A and B are shown apart, each in its own frame.
Chain A
C-alpha cells in the first residue's frame, strides 16, 4: 500500500524499549539548564556544610579526650538522640556523621523530591509537557531525565562530602560511606517522589505526600533512637533514615546497609517506571470526580479556605501524631540520660534545665515550632503562586481589594500555624499524660517566632515578589541553626538570627514575656509593611 499511511521504515525498525526513552538526553539538558542555579546552590551549601563538619567539630572539641567525653555523654541523652541519632564512635569523622549525617540526609531528600516533581508532574500540570511530548520524546523520557537530574545533584553532594571529609579526616572509606549514604537517601526519596508524581494530579500534592513520608521516616527514626542507644529498634528498621545511620560511617562501615538503600531506591524507581508507562499524560490513576454545578464559596476568605484546607488538615494530623509519639517517649528519654556535666551543659543550651523530661519536651516543642514555620511560610507563599499563575488577576478584577484577598490566605497561614501548634501541644500532652496546660502553653509560645518568619515572607512577597520564595530559605536557615547550631559553639550573634532562639524554653523554665511580645509586635509590623507594599505595587501577570 502506498500513500500518506506509509511511515519511514526507520521509525518502525527502532520501535522497542529504547523508544520509550527517546529524547531523554535533550530533556536532561533542558532540566539542568533550568536548574543551573538551583542544583549548584543546593549541592554546594549542603555538601559544603557536611564536608566542613569534621574541622568545625575539631575546633569545638580539640583533643581526643574531649571528643570521647562528648561521644559518651551525647549517646546517653534521649533528646539528643531523637534529634541526631546515636553516636557510634569518638573520632572526628564519627562525630561528623552523627551530628551532620541525619541533617544531610533529610536535606538531600528534600532537594531530590523538589527536583523530581518539578520536572515531572509540574511540567504536566502547567501543560508544558504536552508540547514536549508531541516531539520525539518517549513516554518514560520525562521521568528518566528528572531522575537523572536528581542523580546529578545527589552525586555532586556525595562527591563534595566524600572529598571534603576524606581530606580533613584522612579516612577515605568512612568519608565515602557518609557521602554515598547521603546521596543514596536523596535518590531513594527522588524515586519516592517519582511514584507520587505518577499517582497524584497535582505537583503540590506530590511534594506534600513525599514530604509526609520523609516526616514519618524522621519520626520513626527519632522514636527508635530515643528507645535504643544503637539504632537497633524496630522503628529504626522501618525508616530509611534509620537505615542511613546504621551504615555507621567511620565506625566499622556496614556497606550492606548502604546496598539496602540503593536497592530500595531502584525498586521504587521501577514502580514509578511501570506506572509512567501506563498512564495518560496530565492524568493520574484516579479519574477526576465531578464537582457541584453551583458554588457556595462567597468570599475571598471562603476561596482561600477552600484552596488551603487540605494542607492545613494534613499538617494538623501530622502534628497530632508527632506530638503523641514524642509525648510517649519523654519519660524514657530522661531515664536513659547519664549524669554528666557536659550533657547538662548541652541540654541547658538546647532546652532548659529543670528536669530532663522537661528539657526533652522543650526540645521537641522547639522542633515542632520550626517545622510549623515551614507550613506557615509556604502557606503565605500561596499568594505568590496564585498571582504568578494568573489566578489572582480575575479575582482582583472582581470587587475584591488586595488587602482582603491577601488577608484570606494570611488568616489561614497565621491561624493555621496556631491550629497545628495547638494540636501538636495537645498531642504531646496526651502522649505524656498529666496536665495539658503547660505543654499547650509551650507549644503556643512558639507562635511569635513562627509569625515573625511568616511576616518576613509577607514583606518579601509584598515588596519584592521575585524574592518571595527566598522566605523558605530563611526558614531553612533557622531550622539548620536550631538543629545543628547548639553543639557547635556558634557565636550568640549567629544563633540570634533565628527568632526561635529568643523564646523561653518552655516547659521547665519561667515564662519570659518580653521576647514573646516583641516578636509578636515585629511579626505585626512585618506583615503590615508587606500588605502595604502589596497595595502599592503592580500585579505580576
Chain B
C-alpha cells in the first residue's frame, strides 16, 4: 500500500529545476505532484510521477543523484481537525513523520496527503486501525 516517490538532489543554482522539468517533458513523463525542500545550498525535489521506472531511467541517463523512496498516501477528511486526527493517531503510536506534503487532486470528498514515515508499515497499520484510508500507488500515478 505504499507509493513510490522520486527524490532528486539539486544544487541551488539558476536553471536547476528547469533542467529536471525539461528532461521529464522530453520523456513524456507527467508529474502528478511535487514538493521542494530547500536549504541555502541545495534542495531535494520530491515528486510522484506517472511512470517511476521511465523517470528513473532518464534521470540516470542525465547524471542526476536521485532515489526511489516509499511514501504513504492518506485520505484526509476535508474538515477542521481532519489532519489533526491523523497526526494524533500516529503520535500515540510513536511513529515519526519525516516530512509531508499535499497531493494536488482530491480523492472523492477527501484531500490527499503524502507522508514519509520512519516506520511506514507500522504507520499504515495504525492509520487503518483508526479508520483512515491509505491509498495505493496506482490511484495516484494516473488520473
Q: Do A and B bind each other?
A: no
User: Chain B residues in contact with chain A, CB under 8 A?
Assistant: none
Q: Which residues of A contact B (CB under 8 A)?
A: none
